[in-house]
Amino acid sequence: MISTARRLATLVATGLLFGCAQSVAPENPVDPAHSHRLDYPAKALHDGLMGAAVGFCAVAPDGASQCHLAYSSDPVFAAPAQAFLAGLRFGPGAGDAHRKITVRFVTSAAHRLGYIENDGTVILHGKAGTALKVVRYDCLVGLDAFVHDCAPAQTDTPDAIASTRIALAHLPQVPDFEGEQPLARRRVITMKVVPPGMDADNPFN
């Protein structure tokens, strides 16, 4: 059970490493096969404690990198996140002097609710044969990596509110950053309930 959850945590983390840089030239790809595994602290996993961490890496065109931790939602996640960052390996690419790396610690139960595509979009697993449902929330994303004080849901599909509220409350977000300083700010978060086989970005394909 613990090993399965740890593998999920690693997949969640490495899945979010791609697409963080904004440069036009190809970014240095993360090499998951040679990177350090993300270890979920055993007590946090047992207690169902979830959270997030953010680091920044100076990545050279040849893939050499130096990374450091800038934020952890809970002290228990700081050491494993730092070890994960130190063990990241990149392939060759354009290089990035300040690449943001987001790491999330998510239990297997919460992972089944859906996944965070980016800081403003969450994808939930819908039922086969249903249409795409979209619900938007305006929430304060706190330094604890969770949402607070959410405004009423905005949606044309009110039947999706209950499931999206549960996922929104349980999946850790990350706060906004100014430079390397985390800040608690309001953010519009789009929740998409996507049936199997549908492209969330192009539901008519």
Q: What is the pTM of this model?
A: 0.81
The amino acid present at 56, given as its one-letter code, is F
Is 22 exposed, middle or buried, given 0-12, 13-18 or 19+ CB atoms closer than 10 A?
A: exposed
Please give the average per-residue pLDDT across 98-115, as a whole number: 93
Please give the average per-residue pLDDT across 165-192, as a whole number: 95
pLDDT at 136 over 90: yes
For residue 60 the two structure tokens come to 């050279």
- Percent of the chain, pLDDT > 90? 73
- DSSP state at residue 29: P
